[in-house]
A = this chain, B = another copy of it.
């Protein structure tokens, strides 16, 4: 265990909404000088799933991302309640956004997205053994769904077309596991 070299002198809540809470701490930095630290606490886990069907196709979700003022194609994602099982949460999100129910799940990675400012944690899963049910999209979202070969999706990461961090890291870990033969895709999904 590494000791925390920062000292929190005082803490002041600044803002809160259903998704984030911002506080500003008065701190002593590791060198002992006084300073402030604005910390964004995330009230949800960032969860993502890469579903792969029997033909080696995956599904991307397209939506306009308000903070970026830009459209973004991504793996199916959603927020998971803190303290709940992230797997159950992403299973619910995948069903809502795509109508897919997967028989098999494997954790691909856990990441801290922006650790100099926030405590946000992400989990990305691989999901296979798919059954199509009816999607139940959040009515405040306007999602598009794209089914494409998983290798085409991976190429979109290498081409810089997919830039969402969960999608980028998730597809790259998937590719590494395929190169390492730690996973195999359905035969007609070969690159």
A148 contacts chain B at the CB level, 8 A cutoff? no
Residues of B within 8 A of A118 (CB): 40, 67, 114, 118
Stretch binding the partner chain, chosen from A82-90, A91-99, A157-165: A157-165
Shortest beta-carbon distance from A75 to chain B in Å: 12
Chain A contacts with B in 132-146, Cβ cutoff 8 A: 139-142
Q: Does A20 contact B (CB under 8 A)?
A: yes
Chain A interface main SS type? mixed
Judge if A68 is at the interface, Cβ distance under 8 Å. yes
| CB within 8 Å for A165 and B169 given contacts A30-B64, A115-B65, A140-B33 | yes
Bound form: Cα–Cα A165–B31 in Å: 26
Does B67 lie within 8 Å of A39, measured CB to CB? yes
- Which A residues are within 8 Å of any B CB, using their own CB? 2, 4-6, 14-15, 17, 19-20, 22, 24-25, 27, 29-31, 33, 35-40, 42, 46, 62, 64-69, 71-72, 79, 109-120, 122, 139-142, 157-158, 160, 163-165, 168-169, 172-173, 175-176, 179
* 14 additional A-B residue pairs with CB within 8 Å, beyond A109-B168, A113-B113, A115-B165: A4-B66, A6-B64, A17-B36, A19-B38, A19-B117, A39-B67, A40-B118, A65-B115, A68-B112, A79-B116, A109-B157, A111-B163, A113-B165, A158-B176
Q: Number of copies of this chain in the oligomer? A: 2
- The CA of A137 and the CA of B110, in the complex, are separated in Å by 29
In the bound complex, do residue B68 and residue A140 qualify as a contact, i.e. CB atoms below 8 Å apart? Answer: no
Q: Given A17-B36, A38-B15, A176-B172 in contact, is the A110-B64 Cβ separation under 8 Å?
A: no
Residues of chain B within 8 A of A20, CB atoms compared: 38, 40, 117
